[in-house]
Structure 1
Amino acid sequence: MHGLHIRLPKNFVLEERLERYAAAIEPNPYGWRGLWAAACRRSDAAPFREVRLDLGCGRGGFTVEAARREPDVLFIGMDSEPICIAYAAQVGCESGLSNVVFVPGSAMRITEMFAEGELACIYLNFPTPFPRKKDSGKRTVNFERLMDYRHVLAPGGQVRLRTDSQPLFDFALTQLSIAGYEPVWTSRDARADRPDDPTSEYEVKLGGKGARVCAYVATPGEEPRDPHQTAEMSLAAYIPQDLGTYDGYAPHGMEATIQNLRNRAAKTGGDWSSGVTI
């Protein structure tokens, strides 16, 4: 998830927060591979019907709200930032829900944390766009990551992306075809099309600034025999020639990229795309 600046309260001590809300944190998630649905249940309850992963859960608002709506499903919120885990665990503990847990980790090791077919759904809510070509390997929507997701998704399992970044969304659509996924639903105004879906702190904050959410739901189709990257990797390649599209709102994490293109356009008489390598 791309980071909005988190204002820490005075005297915030990360270690103390992690200890205080440890009941909602699994510090060694790799030890539960293949066991999540049964191991996380209450002692007097049946295993969870299915397991879903909120990958890049941020402060946990979406994870907890989704868990509240489906108490027979286990929701796992994962984030690589310890501060996010601390905040998410607090939300989880205060919710009183028994079907939500938070874990430290990243998409790069997802097959080490979950067994074949263990997940029913992977949510990618507002992932970091990493607009520059040299950083593109870090994107959680790349076909390499989608190929990893195939192994941990159950038959008919889904990947669900939400982003305020139109360039990242258009890039992400190219990756679905490379990895052999079939789009079930796409939208360039997801909140209008599905107003009752759970929301996250990011969506609320960015929506207040004018963001429009692009989204897809996709499921793995036939596995490609020899997948390889064919898409343009710089997100600048997916920005419309008319930069006026972004006069009201520039996607979070891409403000500097768009400003650089505006400066290029000013120097070239309006054509910023010639020879762009951002």
Structure 2
Amino acid sequence: MRLRNKPWAKDMINDNLDLIAVQPENMAGKWQDRFEKSQPLFLELGSGKGGFITELAKQNPQNNYVAMEVQEGAIALLLKKQVENKLPNLQLLLANGANLTDLFAEGEVSGMYLNFSDPWPKTRHEKRRLTYKSFLEQYKTVLKDDGYIQFKTDNQGLFEYSLVSMNNFGMKFDEISLDLHNNEELNETNIPTEYEEKFSKKGFRINYLKAQFN
């Protein structure tokens, strides 16, 4: 979902360059330099307004997190949260995820979160889906050997496609749920996104998986 332009976004970003990276091509292999402590690094690809990643960072001070978003308007709203919270283990990244291996070094990331990605339902747009094989190849490169991907979506078609795509890529599934919010064990530790809360209240089932590369 594309947000309206925020006239104040550029100024806020330029005033808080200690919290957000705007020259990501210089950061591969150096992400730990932007944090107070060197800790396991996790990435959310497509952070939206940042409710999920902000809460995740609050609950897990033993990890470092990068919130990546391509929309300036969305990352500016997330930046507002971070200016207020000043979480030492959260950094923001304004960039396109199409060239992830230019932004992160091999094995630099311990885990990735894909939350409610654009489903790109038309067949001709398959290569744009974040679980398409070319994206999976990049994830495999930047993730540690024991790294994982956690994926959530309300779109049944995208979820089914992702299961097939990951299986064909040789990934193994640690956890799968076709109705996350009614899975007592998994939902106990689930942190919902703003989008997730909105659509689950409307009766949409939330699909979830956690997978690793063999």
* TM-score between both structures, scaled by the size of structure 1: 0.72
| C-alpha deviation, 1:21, in angstroms | 4.3
Larger Rg: 1
Structure 1 unmatched ranges of 5 or more: 222-278
Match status 1:211 vs 2:204 = yes
| C-alpha deviation, 1:18, in angstroms | 2.4
Find the aligned partners of 1:184 and 1:55 in 2 and give their Cα distance.
Answer: 20
For the residue of structure 2 that corresponds to 1:212, the secondary structure is coil
In structure 1, give the amino acid aligned to 2:12: R
Find the aligned partners of 1:166 and 1:67 in 2 and give their Cα distance.
Answer: 28
CA, structure 1 residues 6+209, in 2 after alignment: closer, same or farther (shift >3 Å)?
farther
For the residue of structure 1 that corresponds to 2:21, the secondary structure is coil
Contact kept? 1:67, 1:75, Cα under 8 Å: yes
Pairing partner for 1:27 from 3, 18, 22: 22
CA deviation vs aligned residue, 1:22-60 (integer Å, no higher than 9, x gap): 4421111221211212x0222xxx412x10000000011
For the residue of structure 2 that corresponds to 1:158, the secondary structure is strand
Match of 2:47 in 1: 57
Match of 2:117 in 1: 127
Find the aligned partners of 1:40 and 1:13 in 2 and give their Cα distance.
Answer: 24
Count of aligned residue pairs for this structure pair: 211
CA deviation vs aligned residue, 1:145-199 (integer Å, no higher than 9, x gap): 1111111110110011100001100000000122111111100111222223111
Higher strand share: 2
Structure 2 unmatched ranges of 5 or more: none
Q: Cα RMSD between the aligned structures? A: 1.6
| C-alpha deviation, 1:210, in angstroms | 1.7
Identity of aligned residues (%): 27
For the residue of structure 2 that corresponds to 1:18, the secondary structure is helix
CA, structure 1 residues 154+95, in 2 after alignment: closer, same or farther (shift >3 Å)?
same
For residues 105-184 of structure 1, what are the structure 2 equivalents within 5 Å? 105-184=95-174
CA deviation vs aligned residue, 1:68-88 (integer Å, no higher than 9, x gap): 111121110111111111111
* TM-score between both structures, scaled by the size of structure 2: 0.92
Query: Whose relative contact order is higher, 1 or 2, with alpha carbons under 8 Å and at least 6 apart?
Result: 2
Match of 2:13 in 1: 18
Contact kept? 2:4, 2:73, Cα under 8 Å: no
Match status 1:198 vs 2:185 = no
